[in-house]
Structure 1
Amino acid sequence: MATETATAERTRATPLELFFDLVYVFAFTQVTHLMADGESIRSILGGLAILGVLWWSWASHAWLANQQVADRGPVRIGILAAIATVLVISIPEVYPADGESLFGALLFSIGFVVLSIVYTAVNLVAARGDRALRRQVLRTMSVTIVPVSIALISGALLGGTAQLALWLAAVAIEGITIYLTSQGGAWLLPSAAHYAERHGLVVILALGESVISIGLGASHSPITVGTVIAALIAIVVALGLWWVYFGRVSDAAEHSIEAMTGNHRTRTATIGTYLHFGTVAGILLVSLGLGGAIESIAAAHVPAEFDWIALITGLALFLAATAAYSAVATHNPTTPDSGEAP
């Protein structure tokens, strides 16, 4: 690996990475709008499918920047290309109704293929001095890109229930293939501090968007006493999510992972990235439920069943994922490291 751009243990996130995270969180919030428009379990599943595709892309680039400094050389080019691509694929309607254009769905699917190919090329260049890592990149991406791309593009062409099923399958396939091909592999996590900061950034940005949703929900109707009370309750909920993650979990997890070495560290951090998907998805669902509930209360209506389902499901998912991350990250086995990578 090229030493001039390799990261160190205490490497922190760069301004380019913060911009990168902002773009992805913008895409995540588009998912929330999509779910709100449908107001059904189907729309929630459709939103989670898109979020899952975006999440794997975000996570892959976050791990890449952990190995090589993000604002230099080929990694910077790859991140800039990812930013441009995500901004483009965040705009169109991805679930067309019967008779509507397939352009949005195809654009999203092809955008994923572009993201994956560029990421793979950049990763190979960045790992040019590390043969084991280059083999790992080829092993994982060659097995992952083809089936996921086929599922996404086929779903975009078929539309309807087939599209939803294939896109959910694409998310599952990517998670499974990445995990299985990483067993006994050579993925690296040079900086636990950088890992914790990047994951914390995406969580705080998602929480920030939930606050925006609260404000938007209150702004759609005249301000009343009920609206103010509902908004205050929503803010308390958002602060509670912040406290659970940053007050109880984040720092302890970072210090624990930092004390780990070798494959034990990589394996633990990999599981943490998977669990953070649940954390972010939970925040977005809570945001969806709170925004809809405040709009209803402002209009002197009882919050809809969909809002309660989104809120309760989001809280449960957030708490479960955060608790699991805390348990995994702070668990220190007494047996020696088996040498098995994730």
Structure 2
Amino acid sequence: MATETATAERTRATPLELFFDLVYVFAFTQVTHLMADGESIRSILGGLAVLGVLWWSWASHAWLANQQVADRGPVRIGILAAIAIVLVLSIAIPEVYPVAGESLFGALLFSIGFVALSVVYTAVNIVAARGDRALRRQVLRTMGVTIVPVSIALISGALLGGTAQLALWLAAVAIEGITIYLTSQGGAWLLPSAAHYAERHGLVVILALGESIISIGLGASHSPLTPAIVLASLTAVSVALAMWWVYFGRVSERAEHNIDAMTGNRRTATATIGTYLHFGIVAGILLASLGLGGAIENIGAGHPPTPFNWTALATGLTLFLATTTAYSGVAGNRIATPSHSGAAS
């Protein structure tokens, strides 16, 4: 009975989880500004590296709250601590890539902060899973393999700076993704609630779309109000609305139903791939918002959008459509299974 009650409570995100997600609104805004600084491929890659680090922190806690009740006991304490740490990481973002002669404090704060967040997350998982030996072994296996190389890459990059930092931070994002995936195959990670999974992933997409609205609004507010600015803003909002419709109108609900109909390792594996693809969905939205916001600022200054604006917009939309389509293919297509009641029995 206790297990059934806990599972029922995980069918929807708790207020604490919603509070946790809110800190990522600020984080996403900081990432977009970081990518805009310098208007180059390097600045985009640097922003994606930071976004990747943030993404693993968000995804880990989203899965934790699916397996454990988020607003009770050690999990509640862990999420409250995570909110504070992610805020600190977000504050550090503008200074994570210092040029020669500048302080390394921002880069070190971000990298060491993420390591601390990973350690806290691991400890909370172990304590929360005290009645499930298989899950505790899974946590130790996954995080034990992941934390050391990721920590070395992030801290070494912060100390080295320059191109080495960018390469090591991108490597850290890739290492975490690869080690989590490989150590999770056939493991003890579970997905008790497909509804909770779909809601949390839908909410993070909403947060990214909210950042696009912020970028559009800031771009317009930094310019004199003219018919051209109004028209450009309406066009940009139409792009954001189209992305909303593609994800929520065409993919999200159907994916939730199909994942809910799956069982066992297939269910967990499909949801895991979905989490990876949502990184591309969110990154695509942020890149598109980067292009839209910059284009509006240029139009307000009396200049046409720059090649960087168009490149960011086109790359973002392409990435968003590619990963959304892939998510639809993995989880959104109708699957040939017995009736839902038969599968549950």
Q: 1:10 to 1:72 in 2, by over 3 A?
A: closer
In structure 1, distance between residues paired with 2:109 and 2:48? 18
In structure 2, distance between residues paired with 1:23 and 1:211? 17
Partner residue of 2:104 out of 87, 102, 105: 102
Q: 1:135 to 1:16 in 2, by over 3 A?
A: same
In structure 1, distance between residues paired with 2:27 and 2:4? 33
Which residue is 1:38 aligned to?
38
Which residue is 1:200 aligned to?
202
In structure 2, distance between residues paired with 1:40 and 1:10? 42
In structure 1, distance between residues paired with 2:122 and 2:74? 11
Deviation at 1:331, TM superposition (A): 4.3
Which residue is 1:339 aligned to?
none
Q: Is the 8 A contact 2:40 2:308 kept in 1?
A: yes
- How far does the alpha carbon of each residue in 1:318-341 deviate from its partner, in whole angstroms, 9 at most, with x for none? 0001010011003466699xxxxx
From the two aligned structures, give the one with the greater helix fraction: 2
Which residue is 2:343 aligned to?
none
Is 41-50 or 86-95 further displaced after alignment? 86-95
Deviation at 1:29, TM superposition (A): 1.6
Which residue is 1:318 aligned to?
320
- How far does the alpha carbon of each residue in 1:145-184 deviate from its partner, in whole angstroms, 9 at most, with x for none? 0000000000000000000000000000000000001111
The count of residues paired between Structure 1 and Structure 2 equals 336
What letter is aligned with 1:298? G
In structure 2, distance between residues paired with 1:206 and 1:7? 28
Equivalent position SS for 1:6: helix
Partner residue of 2:145 out of 143, 146, 169: 143
Deviation at 1:38, TM superposition (A): 1.9
Deviation at 1:10, TM superposition (A): 6.3
Q: Is the 8 A contact 2:252 2:332 kept in 1?
A: no
Which residue is 2:283 aligned to?
281
What letter is aligned with 2:144? S
Deviation at 1:8, TM superposition (A): 2.9
Deviation at 1:84, TM superposition (A): 0.2
What letter is aligned with 2:140? L
Equivalent position SS for 1:90: helix
Q: How does 1:16-165 map to 2 (within 5 A)?
A: 16-92=16-92, 93-165=95-167
What letter is aligned with 1:277? F
What letter is aligned with 1:53? V
What letter is aligned with 2:55? W
Length-normalised TM-score, structure 2: 0.94
Is 66-75 or 153-162 further displaced after alignment? 66-75
Deviation at 1:7, TM superposition (A): 2.5
Length-normalised TM-score, structure 1: 0.95
Higher normalized contact order (CA 8 Å, seq sep 6+, divided by chain length):
1
Q: 1:10 to 1:148 in 2, by over 3 A?
A: closer
In structure 1, distance between residues paired with 2:335 and 2:141? 29
Which residue is 2:242 aligned to?
240
Across the aligned residues of Structure 1 and Structure 2, the Cα RMSD in angstroms comes to 1.7
In structure 1, distance between residues paired with 2:201 and 2:137? 26
Q: How does 1:228-307 map to 2 (within 5 A)?
A: 228-307=230-309
In structure 2, distance between residues paired with 1:65 and 1:246? 22
In structure 1, distance between residues paired with 2:63 and 2:36? 31
Which residue is 1:340 aligned to?
none
- How far does the alpha carbon of each residue in 1:264-309 deviate from its partner, in whole angstroms, 9 at most, with x for none? 1100000000000000000100110000000011111011111111
Name structure 1 gaps, 5 residues minimum. 337-342
Q: Is the 8 A contact 2:89 2:113 kept in 1?
A: yes
In structure 1, distance between residues paired with 2:66 and 2:16? 13
Which residue is 1:191 aligned to?
193
Aligned-residue sequence identity (percent) comes to 86
Q: Is the 8 A contact 2:23 2:87 kept in 1?
A: yes
Is 327-336 or 117-126 further displaced after alignment? 327-336
In structure 1, distance between residues paired with 2:310 and 2:5? 48
Q: Is the 8 A contact 2:10 2:65 kept in 1?
A: no
Deviation at 1:6, TM superposition (A): 3.3
Which residue is 2:172 aligned to?
170
Q: Is the 8 A contact 1:14 1:71 kept in 2?
A: yes
In structure 2, distance between residues paired with 1:331 and 1:143? 34
- How far does the alpha carbon of each residue in 1:46-81 deviate from its partner, in whole angstroms, 9 at most, with x for none? 000000011011000000000111111111111011
Deviation at 1:185, TM superposition (A): 0.6
In structure 2, distance between residues paired with 1:24 and 1:232? 25
Equivalent position SS for 1:42: helix
Deviation at 1:11, TM superposition (A): 1.5
